[in-house]
Amino acid sequence: MSIELLALVLIAAGAAFFVVGTIGLLRFPDTLCRLHALTKADGLGLGLTCLGVALLVGSVGEMLRILLIWGLVAVSSAVSGHLIAGHVLRSNAPVRGR
Partner 1 sequence: MIDPLLLFDVILGLAIVSLAVTVLVVRDRFAMIVLVIVFGLMSALAWVRLAAPDVALAEAAIGTGLTGALLLATWRQVRTEPERWPALPRGVMVINMGLCALVLAGLVGAFLATPLGTPGLGVAVADNLADSGVEHPVTAVLLNFRAYDTLMEVVVLLVAVIAVWMIDRGVSQAPQPTLGPELGDLPRGFARLVLPAITVIGAYLLWVGTSAPGGAFQGGAVLAAVGILLLLTQRYQPQPSHRPLARGVFVLGVAGFAAVALLVAGGGRVPFEYPADHAKTLILLIEGLVTLSIAATLAALFHGREPEAISTQGGRS
Q: How far is the CB of 28 from partner 1 (least distance, A)?
A: 18
Say whether residue 82 binds partner 1 (CB under 8 A): yes
Q: State the Cα–Cα distance between residues 3 and 87, nearest whole angstrom.
A: 44
Say whether residue 79 binds partner 1 (CB under 8 A): yes
Say whether residue 12 binds partner 1 (CB under 8 A): no
Helix (H) or strand (E) holding 46: helix 31-56
Say whether residue 83 binds partner 1 (CB under 8 A): yes
Non-local CB neighbours of 77 within 8 Å, separated by 6+ positions: 39, 42, 43, 46
Helix (H) or strand (E) holding 13: helix 2-27
Say whether residue 75 binds partner 1 (CB under 8 A): yes
Say whether residue 68 binds partner 1 (CB under 8 A): yes
Non-local CB neighbours of 31 within 8 Å, separated by 6+ positions: 84, 85, 88, 93, 95
Span from 13-21, 26-34, 54-62, 72-80 in contact with partner 1 (CB under 8 A): 72-80
Say whether residue 23 binds partner 1 (CB under 8 A): no
Q: What is the contact surface with partner 1 in residues (CB under 8 A)?
A: 68, 72, 75-76, 79, 82-83, 86
